[in-house]
Structure 1
Amino acid sequence: MGTNGSTMLEPLEPLRQALPPIDPSAVASSASCALPARYEAVRGARQFTKKTLGQWELSERFDEVALVVSELVTNALRHALPADTARESDAPPVRLHLMRWTSRLVCAVRDPSVDSPSSPGSDDCDAESGRGLFLVDSFSDSWGWHPLTGTLSGKVVWALFRLQPAD
């Protein structure tokens, strides 16, 4: 499993358990980046996504994938990392993972909160600042979340994109 020059998905097993039911051994490529607990991290996540999709020859999917990545990272920063939350370690609290299978791309954002993200159609989605998961639902083929177990705490929120087979 390659990382295209990025940090390896560590530890991967708890993360795999939180992803949609796709054979994790069939991952063609993966990349990951740690994100600081600052809103400027959203820009960095988009840049990382652009570079990674370019390396994977998926640049044509950048707009929709970057929108979803931006929303997932923003939600993690806004809801999973309130300003008054004490940090247990110096480790970056939010991590973006991009994983490519032959016919699918998964964007996953890991954060330290165990709280469920708000679902599309909930009261939070009706607010001007609460439309993120509605956009994730609209632009991805599916999305979900799962609490992490084992050595990692928190949750992973993921979005799946189907890829067209190469001609």
Structure 2
Amino acid sequence: MKSGVTLPSDVALRESLNVLERTIDNGGLREESSLVMNNGNTIRGATGELPTIVDGVQTAKASLPSLPIGSTIADVESTIHSHPTKVQQVGNMIYPQEATAPSPTDKGAFSQFNRNIIVGPLKKINLKNVTTNPNGTFKVPNRPNGAVIYDRNTKELLMLSRNAIQNILKN
């Protein structure tokens, strides 16, 4: 752990796992989101649409849920959203995403909040390790899932594997 980094609350860590599980359960391509409020309440966002490919770039969209009536951005402890856990294949191209790469849209949203969490794969795919199956689909190496915690300037503060989060919550 990096010195001086405060872990998110147990509520935010638990909700990070929930967002990750919802993403896996929905097939791994549609993003999920939640807000964790300073008072411990969690607001779940709607499941995002299937990613689109435009000019060779995959975009997966999900929106953070609306703030509860009477609350402000200052009342949010953490935003949480997922990046696709499944690699999309279109023709002979694959479009992997990972939690370690905030999109331009993420960067804009992050600037409003003190703590932002992206859940999903923690490693980039080395294309040299991708092979072709007999049916024409690609065999993509498994990547560990977890959470990457960012500040409002999109500075990565901490990366935690799913197992690390589970162990933190056990103690």
TM-score (norm 2): 0.29
TM-score (norm 1): 0.29
Compare CA radii of gyration and give the structure with the larger one.
2
- Higher percent of residues as strand: 2
Structure scoring higher RCO (CA < 8 A, sep ≥ 6) equals 1
